[in-house]
Amino acid sequence: MADAERPQIYLSTPADFDPETFADPLARVLDGAEVACLRLSLATRDEVRLSRAADALREICHARDIALVIENHVLLVDRLGLDGVHLTDGARSIRKVRTDLGAEAIVGAFCGITRHEGINAGEAGADYVGFGPVGDTPLGTGDRADTDLFAWWSEMIEVPVVAEGALTPELVAALAPHTDFFGIGDEIWGQDDPLAALRGLIAPLG
């Protein structure tokens, strides 16, 4: 991305939520901030719950011209009228998924902290590549995707990149020149006022 461009906001849902009670805070966030995409990240494998959530979110997102993708469940994309899928297995399944969903669908890949995996994902046809976590978190291995990875990627690779995982305002400021999207979720949904939390988090973007 060009340094002059402002990174866009890519929201993800909580891993567990009730679509009826989540609808209002989500709509408030989407109405109060510029959001490019929402990722349905429910941890459940219950198709009924996923379908119910997707139906509610699709109505909210598409009314605001915001893309809605689902995490990993490729077969549900067309069935539920979604815009694409976010894959968490790096480059592994991108070629097949791209063939299955077609050129118009969004296909993104989370690649952890691995530059090589990101390159493979981009070459396989990913629309974007995500790296993270970028901040300190007790979850996972403790390894982080550092600023140097994003700086290198933005200089060398044209595929858009997402910075996500344990973001802070300081990290937003540091990564803003080097990333196309900030992936934001847990940082705001656990707060009393998610919109205020989002605004505080991205305040360094101006």
Q: Which tens digit of pLDDT belongs to each residue from 47-71?
A: 999 999 999 999 999 999 999 999 9
Q: Does position 36 have pLDDT exceeding 50, yes or no?
A: yes
Tell me the average pLDDT across 34-57: 97
- Percentage of the chain modeled with pLDDT above 70: 98
141, two tokens: 């291995």
- Across the range 197-205, mean pLDDT stands at 98
93 is written with which tokens? 């399944």
Residues 69-96: what's their mean pLDDT?
A: 97
Q: Cα separation of 88 and 92, whole Å?
A: 9
Q: Report which of 129, 142, 137, 140 is spatially closest to residue 183, judged by C-alpha positions.
A: 129
Residues 65-86, mean pLDDT to the nearest whole number? 98
CATH topology of domain 8-205: TIM Barrel (3.20.20)
Q: How far apart are CA 54 and CA 19, in angstroms?
A: 9
Reading phi first (left if > 0) and then psi (alpha if -120 to 50, else beta), residue 54 is in alpha
Backbone angles phi, psi at 198, to 5 degrees: -65, -45
Q: Indicate if the pLDDT at residue 100 is higher than 50.
A: yes
**According to the model, what pLDDT value does residue 139 have?**
77
In the chain, the percentage of residues whose pLDDT exceeds 90 is 94
pLDDT tier at 14 (50, 70, 90 boundaries)?
A: very high
